[in-house]
């Protein structure tokens, strides 16, 4: 524990003699990566939990300044390894809007299809890992099996199973064949009934509901004040989805709902709401996929882009609705072939900020549930 943080902890730590400081992580099985929490507890009850981020900082933003515009795309995969497609997407959106490149419509549809598949895959891991944290290992493995099908499809689409690098400035890297379209339809036919089966297995399980309902309630006001995004914000009952309010790509052509938390089993904004919103979002993604597959037009998959891309002095902010909420990139160009500055905004980082406020008075086991329900991915926090 660094000395500076000890000082921060001390006034509270000395308040009761019964308190002890618990170092949770960075090698704890349920911190979802290399994350550290300094937990002040009295027995099992948490008095204070301080997230200590930075163990996975790789300086991706700085790397962008050393790499060409097109060469940075593989780095964006590494921002969020569970939902690499969104980081790809937001980066190419930023570059395209700076360089004023028109993307062919087929390419935009392909992007949406890839993104929605990736969203399903990411939510599968998220909800499965939450069940794993609660102590049920079977749902996780079942979801991994379904995710394997998505990985196979992804491999057919873009050649990679995890770090896709599918997007290109001005389009996508490969076209999809009719066989892949059929495969995705087949997967959806198989997958949609499985969601109900999964719900029967774990979502409506009495022990599971009791572990999550009324735990770590985030009020709508808090959710906005702490800058939560994505399913965490929607779990608190706020209808906010970048796909609806600032429709990028071709999302305005699809008809889909934004599931929000309603206090499904407990009160609004508890862990169960955040969990169940993700399950509902998986269903919505399936419907978006079906629409996109049926409407996909013919045409090019990539606009004509100069091999060596130089962008005149300008700046822009692009954002997409990632699996973990709004993912934004602020890109500044200075006329050279490299970005002058890139700032990445991610959902997990803001989600970490609320842990300290919500975790007071929880049990140690609830903190695990809270971290799981916030769906933090360690590399996305630190970049």
Query: Which is nearer to another protein, 309 or 367 (by Cβ)?
Result: 367
Residue 367 Cβ, how far from another protein at the closest point, in Å? 9
Is 28 an interacting residue with respect to another protein (CB under 8 A)? Answer: yes
The interface region with another protein, picked from 52-60, 186-194, 270-278, 340-348 by CB under 8 A, is: 186-194
CA distances from 211 to 113, 130, 185, 270, 323 (A): 35, 11, 36, 11, 24
Indicate whether 289 belongs to the interface with another protein (CB under 8 A). no
Site string for another protein, 30-69 (x = CB under 8 A): x------------xx-------------------------
Smallest separation, CB 208 to another protein (Å)? 5
CA distances from 34 to 87, 90, 93, 123 (A): 20, 25, 30, 20
**131 versus 352: smaller Cβ distance to another protein:** 131
Burial class (CB in 10 A: 0-12, 13-18, 19+), 189: exposed
Nearer to another protein, 271 or 381 (CB): 271
- Looking at residues 139 to 158 of the shown chain, list those that interact with another protein (rule: CB under 8 A): 141-142, 145, 149
> Measured from the CB atom, is 197 or 315 closer to another protein?
197
Instruction: Provide the minimum distance between the beta carbon of 222 and another protein in the complex, in angstroms, as a whole number.
Output: 23
225 binds another protein (CB under 8 A): no
- Residue 42: beta bridge partners? 45
Residue 361 binds another protein (CB under 8 A): no
Local structure of residue 15 (DSSP, 8 states): T
SS3 state of residue 317: strand
Work out the number of other CB atoms within 10 angstroms of the CB of residue 275.
Answer: 29
What totals of helices (H) and strands (E) does the chain contain, helices first? Answer: 16, 8
Q: Which is nearer to another protein, 25 or 328 (CB)?
A: 25
SS3 363: strand
Stretch that binds another protein, among 111-119, 195-203, 293-301, 346-354 (CB under 8 A): 195-203
Sequence-ordered list of residues with C-beta below 8 angstroms from that of 8, at least 6 positions apart, any chain? 50
Q: CB-wise, 116 or 133, nearer to another protein?
A: 133
Q: What DSSP state is assigned to residue 2?
A: -
CB of 133 to another protein, least distance (A): 5
Q: Does 16 bind another protein (CB under 8 A)?
A: no
Q: Report which secondary-structure segment, H or E, holds 275.
A: helix 271-295
Rg (CA), the chain: 21
Distance of CA 228 to the CA centre of its chain: 12
Q: What does the CA dihedral 140, 141, 142, 147 come to, rounded to 10 degrees?
A: 90
Applying CB under 8 A, the span of 22-30, 57-65, 237-245, 248-256 interacting with another protein comes to 22-30
Our CB check for another protein shows the closer of 241 and 366 to be 366
Write out the residues near another protein by the rule CB under 8 A: 20, 22, 28-30, 43-44, 131-138, 141-142, 145, 149, 186-187, 189-190, 193-194, 197, 200-202, 205, 207-208, 210-211, 363-366, 368
């Amino acid at each position: 524990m660094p000395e500076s943080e000890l000082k921060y902890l001390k006034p509270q730590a000395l308040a009761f003699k019964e308190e002890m400081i618990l170092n949770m992580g960075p090698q704890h099985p349920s911190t979802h990566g290399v994350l550290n929490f300094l937990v002040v507890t009295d027995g099992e009850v948490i008095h204070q939990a301080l997230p200590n981020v930075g163990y996975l900082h790789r300086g991706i933003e700085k790397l962008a300044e050393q790499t060409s515009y097109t060469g940075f795309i593989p780095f964006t995969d590494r921002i969020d390894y569970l939902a690499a497609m969104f980081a790809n997407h937001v980066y190419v959106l930023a570059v395209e809007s700076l360089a004023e490149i028109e993307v062919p419509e087929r390419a935009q549809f392909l992007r949406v299809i890839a993104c929605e598949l990736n969203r399903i895959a990411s939510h599968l891991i998220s909800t499965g890992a939450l069940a794993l944290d609660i102590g049920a290992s079977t749902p996780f493995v079942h979801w991994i099996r379904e995710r394997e099908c998505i990985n196979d499809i992804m491999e057919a689409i873009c050649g990679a199973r995890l770090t896709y690098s599918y997007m290109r400035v001005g389009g996508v890297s490969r076209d999809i064949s009719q066989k892949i379209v059929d495969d995705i339809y087949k997967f959806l036919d198989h997958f949609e009934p499985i969601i109900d089966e999964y719900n029967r297995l774990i979502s409506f399980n009495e022990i599971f509901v009791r572990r999550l309902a009324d735990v770590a309630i985030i009020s709508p006001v808090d959710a906005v004040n702490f800058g939560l995004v994505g399913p965490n914000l929607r779990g608190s009952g706020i209808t906010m989805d970048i796909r609806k309010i600032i429709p990028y790509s071709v999302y305005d052509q699809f008809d889909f709902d934004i599931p929000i938390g309603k206090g499904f089993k407990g009160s609004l904004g508890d862990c169960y709401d955040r969990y169940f919103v993700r399950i509902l979002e998986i269903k919505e993604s399936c419907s978006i996929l079906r629409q996109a597959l049926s409407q996909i037009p013919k045409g090019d998959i990539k606009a004509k882009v100069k091999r060596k891309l130089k962008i005149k002095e300008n700046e822009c902010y692009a954002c997409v609705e990632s699996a973990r909420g709004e993912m934004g990139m602020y890109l500044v160009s200075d006329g050279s072939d490299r970005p002058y500055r890139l700032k990445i905004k991610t959902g997990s980082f803001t989600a970490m900020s609320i842990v300290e406020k919500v975790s007071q008075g929880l049990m140690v086991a609830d903190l695990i549930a809270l971290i799981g329900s916030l769906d933090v991915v360690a590399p996305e926090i630190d970049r």
